[in-house]
Amino acid sequence: MAAVDLSTHPGHLARRLQQAHTLLWTTMVSEETTSPQFAVLNALVEKPDIDQRTLSEHVHLDRSTIADLVARLGRRGLLERVRDPRDGRRNVLKLTDEGAAVHRKLVTRTARMNKVFLAPLDEGEQETLLRLIGRVADAAEELRG
């Protein structure tokens, strides 16, 4: 069996895309706060005081990953975990002032970075790319919702 051309394999391309993104992120956005961490901060700005389960659905990460991630952000003082008095299973997540400040700073930087990242495509292509990735990801998540 001959070798296959990986440039026609969406999984391989997805990995390369994410890898390229991570590299650009650390140089243009932040060395301390990663892209998934920003996603968590952003979700907490949008919906304050949610629990980890709800958060994990919002950012599309599983509960174990969220637990690690939130613990790291907690250690850096960007958020607090408070046991829900109404429901003792839940950790209610509260963004600290510092967490909100970090989010504010990164919002502008990510916007700048996204421009650079997508610069090789014209505006129509950029819109197409985002829409097509979204459709494939949505459909796949549907399968194992």
Alpha-carbon gap, residue 10 to 131, rounded angstroms: 15
Q: Which range, of 49-57, 75-83, 86-94, 135-143, touches its own copies by CB under 8 A?
A: 135-143
67 binding its own copies? (CB under 8 A)? no
- Give the binding site for DNA (CB under 7 A): 15, 19, 22-23, 26, 34, 36-37, 51-53, 60-65, 67-70, 72, 81, 86-91
Smallest separation, CB 89 to its own copies (Å): 26
Q: Name which of 72, 82, 70, 79 is nearest 102 in CA terms.
A: 79
One of 31, 46, 97, 123 touching its own copies (CB under 8 A): 46
Smallest separation, CB 85 to its own copies (Å): 26
44-80: burial string, b at 16+ Cβ within 10 Å, e else = beeeeebbbeebbebbebeeeebeebbeebbeeebbe
Q: In degrees rounded to 5, what are phi and psi of residue 10?
A: -60, -35
134 binding its own copies? (CB under 8 A)? yes
What's the distance, Cα to Cα, between the start and end of the chain in Å? Answer: 36
- Which one of its own copies, DNA, none interacts with residue 69, CB within 5 to 8 A by kind? DNA
71 binding its own copies? (CB under 8 A)? no
Number of residues engaging its own copies in binding (CB under 8 A): 61
